[in-house]
Amino acid sequence: MKNCKKKILCGFLAGAVLFASGCGNKDTQDQAKVQRYAWPLGSSSPEDTVTQIYAEKFAEEVERLSGGMMLISVYPNSVLGGDRELLESCKEGDIPFVVQNTAPQVTFMPDVAVFDMPAVFETIDEVREHVDNPDFLSMMQQVYGDAGYVLLGYADQGFRVMTTNRNVQSISDFKGQKIRTMENSYHMAYWKALGASPTPMTFSEVYIGLQQGTIDAQENPYEVIVSNKLYEQQDYVVETNHLPHLISLIVSDEFFEGLTGEQQEIIREAAETAKEYAREQSDERIASRIQTIEESGTQIISLNDEMHEQIRELCKPVYESIEKNVSEDLVDAYLGDMKGVIE
């Protein structure tokens, strides 16, 4: 994997040289005017996902706005490394751009755990409204800036939901279920609060884990559940909607500061367009994914208001834990008018 990554990065460096020198006999000043750039963008997600759509739309817009003078190539499926490697390489400037879920970033930027506050929002439109709040977004940009990144925006894949073979109709139905989660302490704390038994597991092992009964359940956005056919091994999808599955687009601060003002503006404008497009695609794809699941015979369960209130009550220790480790101002800016929901 490391050799593959090095070859790709070396290829881009060579490409940049070719773009700069492939102008025939023109003088240096003319060469500078027609110089083009080819930069890698890394992701750990598969091609058929909103993450890939977000990344590709961003690359497309950068090329369009720059008149073909700035090029970005997207590398999905962890070709350039897993989430941790991508973050490290981005900070060092080796991989300028990264598109990824926010959960793995908590280790590098503890304040990003503000997004791990469970069961707060009822609709994804509410989440987007709060995430796009200028004051909150400015604070988050400072968080990323302090860590060596420039935050260009957040798209999403809707909410994370649960799949299981148990017909969940009450809080007691969560009890004892061995559910696969990401290796995120706040995610695990949420499921423990509901009485379940969270089990971190490499994602590649989830399907066979469900098939063999190593785990009883798992949680992911609809997009992932369908693209990986996880519903085939589960009788129910429970719309816990416990967390928004946010996708960040970031760029190395060192790399970004080395660009001209015009180039920076192109990147910011492209990122904004890509964010809106990815959100639209997410909404359309979720509806399609739900239809696929229902047609397979897997039943979708929506939790009633009473259960949501019970879950929030059980989650108070999780809220308190996050509030101890995240800036109070950041939490207040994120929650806004929803602050009363967790109190």
Q: Which of 62, 81, 64 is nearest to 72 (CA)?
A: 62
pLDDT at 46: 84
Q: Which of 268, 247, 252 is nearest to 148 (CA)?
A: 252
d(CA 121, CA 127): 6
- Tokens representing 175 are 């009890």
pLDDT in tens, the chain (343 residues): 454 555 555 455 444 434 433 344 444 444 444 446 589 999 998 888 999 999 999 999 999 999 999 999 999 999 999 999 999 999 999 999 999 999 999 999 999 999 999 999 999 999 999 999 999 999 999 999 999 999 999 999 999 999 999 999 999 999 999 999 988 999 999 999 999 999 999 888 999 999 999 999 999 999 999 989 999 999 999 999 999 999 999 999 999 999 999 999 999 999 999 999 999 999 999 999 999 999 999 999 999 999 999 999 999 999 999 999 999 999 999 999 998 888 7
Within the chain, residue ranges assigned H as helices are 2-21, 28-33, 50-65, 83-92, 124-131, 134-147, 185-193, 206-212, 222-227, 253-257, 261-296, 305-314, 316-325, 328-335
Taking the CA atoms of 270, 275, 280 and 281 in sequence, report the sign of the dihedral they define: positive
The count of C-alpha atoms lying within 13 angstroms of the C-alpha of 177, restricted to the half-sphere facing its C-beta, is 26
Chain centroid, CA 82 distance in Å: 13
pLDDT at 8: 56
pTM of the model: 0.88
Residue-wise pLDDT for 167-203, tens only, equals: 999 999 999 999 999 889 999 999 999 999 999 998 8
- Tokens representing 179 are 């559910």
User: Is there a contact between 286 and 127 (Cβ–Cβ < 8 Å)?
Assistant: no
Q: Which domains does the chain have, with CATH numbers?
A: 2-20+36-338 (3.40.190.170)
Q: Which residues contact 39 (CB under 8 A, 6 or more apart)?
A: 12, 70, 71, 72, 73, 96, 97
